[in-house]
Amino acid sequence: MESKFTEMYQKEPAEENGNGCEQVINLLDLMVDGEASAEEQHFFNKHIEECVNCFENHQKQKLLKGLISGHLKRVIVPESLAQTIKAKIQETI
């Protein structure tokens, strides 16, 4: 009759968000820059297969990186190109 009380306080350690998310966030830059070691890449890829949050973060980071490094000069889309794209989209619908 004496153990009931303590049982209430023995909580299972809550499954924390810490399955490596922090490490993955720290690795994001290295991964996008291609500077992560093989071990880090392995860890990273394994993690984002199972963690949607980190997967999305990686996608966003890659997108951002791509925008910064490659497409700055082409940010302004000529009106004619926009028209062509619109026409193409309507064709396929």
25 binds Zn ion (CB under 5 A): no
Cα 56 from Cα 66, distance rounded (Å)? 15
Question: Three-class SS string for 2-25?
Answer: CCHHHHCCCCCCCCCCCCCHHHHH
51 binds Zn ion (CB under 5 A): yes
27 binds Zn ion (CB under 5 A): no
H runs (alpha helix) in the chain? 4-7, 21-33, 38-50, 52-69, 79-92
CB of 48 to Zn ion, least distance (A): 7
Which DSSP letter does residue 70 get?
A: T
Binding mask 58-87 vs Zn ion (x if CB under 5 A, - otherwise)?
------------------------------
54 binds Zn ion (CB under 5 A): yes
28 binds Zn ion (CB under 5 A): no
Chain residues in the site for Zn ion (CB under 5 A): 21, 51, 54
